[in-house]
């Protein structure tokens, strides 16, 4: 699954694995249902309508409460920009903005999508 497939997916988990905060998305239309995670390893922020943000704001010391604002929300739009940044808008009008630039602690890609359970398949 790629960024283009995120619209319509539901955020079912917010967490942190090692140093990387993540969101887990559920695809309820696949059979079996599939989950995938968006890991963040750069600057990111959650913005409300009209709040453009700086795009360089650092993740908070404890990112989970900020990301929890996106839990149980559906993705409306998701765009990977030419500069590698990511914008994901949710049904509560909040937008997750992820920088396309690495920071001093980035260990690989600045963000990536991966299956959250082995091959990414899980049934309820």
- pLDDT tens string, the chain, 124 residues long: the values are 789 999 999 999 999 988 899 999 998 887 788 899 999 999 999 998 877 665 456 666 778 889 999 999 999 999 999 999 999 999 999 999 999 999 999 999 999 999 765 444 433 3
Quick one: which of 51, 73, 62, 60 has its CA closest to 15?
62
Q: Residue 60's pLDDT is what?
A: 66
pTM above 0.75, yes or no: yes
**In a domain? residue 121:** no
What gap in Å lies between CA 43 and CA 86, rounded to an integer?
11
**In a domain? residue 122:** no
| Domain containing residue 86 | 3-115
**In a domain? residue 12:** yes
Q: Where are the alpha helices (DSSP H) in 1-124?
A: 63-68
Spatial CB neighbours of 1, under 8 Å, sequence gap ≥ 6: 27, 34, 36, 113, 120
**In a domain? residue 123:** no
**In a domain? residue 120:** no
Q: How many domains does the chain have?
A: 1
């Amino acid at each position: 699954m790629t960024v283009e497939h995120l619209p319509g997916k539901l955020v079912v988990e917010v967490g942190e694995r090692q140093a990387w905060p993540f969101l887990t998305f559920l695809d309820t239309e696949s059979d079996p249902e599939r989950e995938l995670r968006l890991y963040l390893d750069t600057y990111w922020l959650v913005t409300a309508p009209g709040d453009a943000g700086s795009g360089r704001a650092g993740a908070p010391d404890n990112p989970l409460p900020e990301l929890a604002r996106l839990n149980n929300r559906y993705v409306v739009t998701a765009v990977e920009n030419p500069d590698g940044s990511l914008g994901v808008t949710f049904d509560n009008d909040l937008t997750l903005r992820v920088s396309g630039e690495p920071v001093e602690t980035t260990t690989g890609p600045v963000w990536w999508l991966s299956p959250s359970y082995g091959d990414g398949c899980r049934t309820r």
